[in-house]
Amino acid sequence: MEKSFKEEVKQLDHSSRAGQLARELNIERQRLKEELAEAQHLVDVFSPSTPTGGLDSYIKWFATVLAVTGVFLQSADFITAGKCAYAVSSCAWVYVGHLWNDKAIMIGSAITGTAVLMNLATLIPF
């Protein structure tokens, strides 16, 4: 019984040194693809996902500086100024959260901002 051409090539491929090298290279190529995919995943995980360069990015940094300033002002006994700065910062963060459609940012900022504004309301004489 005669072998087909493909079977002969397959048999030669398995027995020749060139065939062995081709299989080894293919295995190494597959390993490198998997390693590259894993490295790309790590880059994607650790890369910042927030937009940069737009108006929202500037508002984000302004709000961050304002929040830190508010905390330091309160620590330095400039309570009212610190609370006002923090309240404005919270409003800015709610706006940024709205732009990014990030409910966690909006809720966290709204709650802390509301708490600060409620405390500020106690300073208003009635």
**pLDDT mean across residues, the chain:** 86
The pLDDT assigned to 48 comes to: 64
Alpha-carbon gap, residue 123 to 110, rounded angstroms: 20
What's the predicted TM-score (pTM) here? 0.61
How long, in residues, is the chain? 126
> Domain-by-domain residue ranges, the chain?
5-46, 55-121
Mean pLDDT of 6-13: 58
The pLDDT assigned to 112 comes to: 95
The pLDDT assigned to 8 comes to: 55
Q: What is the pLDDT of residues 26-78, one digit of tens each?
A: 889 999 999 999 989 888 777 666 777 788 899 999 999 999 999 999 999 99
Q: Beta-carbon neighbour count of residue 95 at 10 Å?
A: 17
